[in-house]
A and B are shown apart, each in its own frame.
Chain A
Amino acid sequence: MAERILTRNFDVKNAHTLRVYRGGGGYQGWEKAKGMEPGVIAEEVKNSNLRGLGGAGFPTGVKWGFIPKGSTAPRYLVVNADEGEPGTFKDRYLMERDPHALIEGMLIAARAIGSHLGFIYIRGEYVQPWRILSDAVAEAYDAGLLGKNIQGTGFDFEIVVHRGAGAYICGEETGLISSLEGKKGWPKVKPPFPAVKGAFGQPTIVNNVETLACLPHIINRGGEWFAGLGTKTQGGTRLYSVSGHVVRPGLVEAPVSVTLRQIIYDHCGGIPGGRALKAVVPGGSSAAILTPDEIDIPMDVDGPKSKGSMIGSAGIIVMDETVSIPEALMVVARFYAHESCGQCTPCRESTGWIYKISHRIVEGKGRKEDLDTILDVAKRGAGTTICAFYDGAVGPYISYIEKFRSEFEDLIRSSAHA
């Protein structure tokens, strides 16, 4: 069993408290980082091959470097704790069981980018994590780890915990910023990018909870060590949220070189009841579906990509042979139709349209042209929107049909309208 990095405190009683966290070596990364030059911290993070673990997988240290050089404007660090991707629940665990790891990671990131104000944008439905995290922030303030002139370093850093009101799109970084600013959670046209003009018009770095939780370890043990845990292009371990038809669903931490097969069969005990694996979603609902012959891939950013899918948020949804793929598509299409923010025309209209078609197919009223219509609409809308929401929706639309077309066709053939 590989070393547990991010989950090392998950089984420790009261690890969410500052006392226990510190007792286990917590805030040592910050102790080290506070004496480091910001550029050195960023360099260490670049060396670690840390990729954004919210879904996009962009190199974290590189992202920090997009803040305009010499800008004297206030810089904000925004934590994306919205975690709305279906099948994904890793950040919830981190915030409930190890909230100070996030706060420590924020301190390190803030020092690296020169930020003095951080926002944690947490999913509104995450009531329990919000309570625990808020308590942890209060503890950090009381201990002088947050606030003005932290530990006499002359460094100021404040954290505001902000609850979202429940919209998937508010996990998209510019939608999140709009929501944080008090506006409708609509993504913003780019350019300008958030690092140049983000929250409240100031340079802003948005990082995911898990990404920031890696930082104390990277600073403590060095970027090279972290890079060595993973693959050539991505360092570290990763939290995989596994749901669906496995014997032991839940959270799995493993180096990113772990294969999807290993996660399903070794970590999660395989498919229950001796049933056969039918399909797997490897990276949250927006990732293209994989078939059983496609699961021998490393679960870093490149593995699922090699099969036309993506690692995304690493939310793995396993489907056994009892699952109706047309029904699964309808469920996922309903989700995207419901959660499209409605800003861009192709996304707003196509998600609703595709849901209606998929629903009609499941109801037994499918027409033979329906599948081609979905595929055509999906492909024509892809890449035409402000944010990646629709591109995310297109993943399942296309892959479910292309990989399981005969199942849809059987259903349509039995329809009176075909």
Chain B
Amino acid sequence: MPKLTINGKEVEVPEGTNLIEAAKAVGAEVPHYCYHPALSIAGQCRLCMVDIDKVPRPQIACNTQATEGMVVHTETERVLATRRSMMEFHLINHPLDCPVCDQAGECYLQIYYMKHGLYDPRMIDEKVHKPKAVPIGPHVMLDAERCILCSRCVRFCDEITHTGELGIFQRGDQSEIGLFPGKALENKYSGNVIDICPVGALTDRDFRFQVRVWYLDTAKSICNGCARGCNIEVHTNRNRPHHNQGRRVARLKPRFNAEVNQWWVCDEGRYGFKWMDDKSRLTHPLHRAGGQGTEVSWDGALPELVTRLQGCPPDEIGFLASPRMSNEDLWTLKRLAEHLGVRNLDFRVPPRAPGDEDDFLIRADKNPNSRGAELAGVGPGPGGRDAAGMLRAAREKRLKLLWIFHHDLAATSWPEAEVLGAIENVETVIFQGTNANDISARAHLVLPSAACVETEGTFTNFQGRVQRFRTAIPPLGESWPDWMILSFIGKALGASDPVFTAERAEQVFNALAAAVPAFGGMTYRALGDAGRMVTA
């Protein structure tokens, strides 16, 4: 652990720490473009220069490791002058289309110019012109004129995805990022190059020109695209519905978690949020009789559900939970099943096609909380039926009420005719979920669930890491969080368990943590931003 002095402050850092990171430890910002902690050191933007005692010239902080006794200065006159020069060099061929650049607000040319540049421009000659607005893959647009050739994107494709689509071609100020012949930037993680591009050269085809970043609100969340549980930020546009075609969720961005996804997220997760503002969202409880659905209020829907539940023997009730539900949702459901004596409980529904998986982030299980459902004990009680058993029982008219959470059973590996046959043979089908599907279209009662971005809770990823997601936007229409719907039912049924009087998801989680040893000792506060591993 070398001890060094930076700007007069002594600091001890782990062996191998470079001076950019060491400076952070004393609260000093060393500006940089090409350095990214996940990528190899390129040392080419030359912006991160610092002065080191006994070294005659400024050195790049990214490729200089902290050593014992080193004395570093990040704000000397010489360092400040060098930074100004580097900013001028970076900008002489930049098109300076900031007023229309879709990276405005997140562009480190702008930010660093204001913080470290502020020189009077001297370039009066014709700038170098390069290709603009070139789609280089399904998700990424390239503007080569804005590129400062930091090579982060090239290194990402070489070192992280090992797909090598990008290169820097030509030389000198003619150098430009581009695709190798015959290639497209269509690897499964291509969107990450947009995040790591420090300027407006690589932009998101899905997001660009939709909404200005300064209008966005941000919430910490967890991707629900697969069992990895990548940490993400949900960026929402609530106040300007005339932007982003009215969609509230503008984009998802990866959020660093060293234990789960580091800096990255896959494209499927990144772009898999359109269902949240889709027209198929269920916004009101529906009562269906004779094929016709009628919007009803919760005050109408819940008593009806209670009545139907009370009218069925527990053995003729089936609860088909979803591994897309949070730990809080699942625990409330489990407690409700126990209160009612329902033993037909399960969450395992086979997908129509096996999910793809790789050795990086993507998991074959496309559900965010299968592990949480297992740990919460969402499975058949003694003598109860699993999911397939419930369907079978339904087909044989041995099930009177089937409460289905989120699943589109018609889109599973089970034969569609058998599924629909089962649904038709159940007296009461209740569908609870976020979006309409073939099952909701046949359900007698439809209860609209809030999407995970509209509520808070926890998922347990495949590794057993319990992670929080936070509310980014209010629930759409009349939708409610699943746990809340279940709590109302439990309370209406006269159940005394405290989960049914919970007003916040956190209270349900505390109950779960108190009851299930795997979650023992966990609280929302203890989970923090990085989550915590279950104990079993």
**A interface residue numbers (CB < 8 A to B):** 167, 169, 184, 189, 191, 337-346, 348-353, 356-357, 360, 367, 369, 373, 380-381, 383-386
Contacts and interface: CB of A to CB of B under 8 A. Distances in A.
A356 B126 contact: yes
A345 B148 contact: yes
Given A353-B123, A383-B57, A384-B46, A342 B89 contact: no
Pick the 4 closest A-B CB pairs, nearest first: A342-B175, A352-B173, A189-B43, A340-B172
Contact of B172 (A189, A342, A367, A386): A342
Contact of A340 (B58, B168, B171): B171
28 contacts: A189-B60, A189-B63, A337-B172, A338-B171, A339-B171, A340-B172, A342-B172, A342-B175, A343-B42, A345-B89, A345-B90, A345-B149, A346-B89, A348-B149, A348-B173, A349-B93, A351-B172, A351-B173, A352-B93, A352-B174, A353-B173, A356-B125, A360-B125, A369-B122, A380-B85, A383-B57, A384-B58, A385-B46
A348 B47 contact: no
Interface string B167-180: 11011111100000
Interface in B75-90: 81-82, 85-86, 89-90
Contacts of B128: 352
A349 B90 contact: yes
A345 B46 contact: yes
A348 B41 CA distance: 19
B39 interface: no
B309 interface: no
B60 to A, nearest CB: 8
Contacts of B430: none
Nearest to A168: B171
Interface of B: 41-47, 49, 57-58, 60, 63, 81-82, 85-86, 89-90, 92-93, 122-126, 128, 148-149, 167-168, 170-175
Contact of A189 (B42, B168, B170, B171): B42
A58 B85 CA distance: 31
- Main secondary structure on A side of the interface with B: helix
Contacts of B82: 380, 384
Nearest to B150: A345
Given A337-B172, A348-B172, A356-B125, 16 more contacts: A167-B171, A184-B168, A189-B60, A342-B149, A343-B44, A344-B43, A345-B46, A345-B89, A352-B128, A352-B174, A353-B92, A353-B173, A360-B125, A384-B85, A384-B86, A386-B43
Contacts of A348: 89, 149, 172-173, 175
* Chain A CB within 10 Å, residue with most, of B41, B82, B126: B82
A346 B84 CA distance: 11
A373 B122 contact: yes
A346 B171 contact: no
Given A342-B170, A342-B175, A373-B122, A381 B85 contact: yes
A348 B44 CA distance: 10
A353 B126 CA distance: 9
B86 A345 contact: yes
A346 B125 contact: no
Contact of A345 (B41, B44, B57, B124): B44
B168 A342 contact: yes
A223 to B, nearest CB: 32
Contact of B89 (A337, A356, A381): A381
A357 B89 contact: no
B63 A349 contact: no
Contact of B86 (A189, A342, A346): A346
B437 to A, nearest CB: 51
Contacts of B58: 384
Contacts of B174: 342, 352
Contacts of B167: 184
A342 B93 CA distance: 13
A369 B45 CA distance: 27
B125 A357 contact: yes
Contacts of A383: 57
B488 to A, nearest CB: 61
A359 to B, nearest CB: 9
B49 A386 contact: no
Contacts of B90: 345, 349
A341 to B, nearest CB: 6
A338 B128 CA distance: 13
Nearest to A343: B44
Nearest to B64: A191
* Chain A CB within 10 Å, residue with most, of B86, B93, B125, B172: B172
Contacts of A184: 167-168
A348 B174 CA distance: 9
Contacts of A373: 122
A348 B171 CA distance: 8
Nearest to A189: B43
A189 B122 contact: no
Given A356-B125, A356-B126, A373-B122, A345 B171 contact: no
A153 B299 CA distance: 97
A167 B169 CA distance: 13
A386 B60 CA distance: 9
A117 B526 CA distance: 58
Contacts of A337: 172-173
A385 B82 CA distance: 12
A380 B49 contact: no
Nearest to B85: A380
B172 A384 contact: no
Nearest to A169: B171
A173 B122 CA distance: 34
A380 B49 CA distance: 13
A191 B16 CA distance: 13
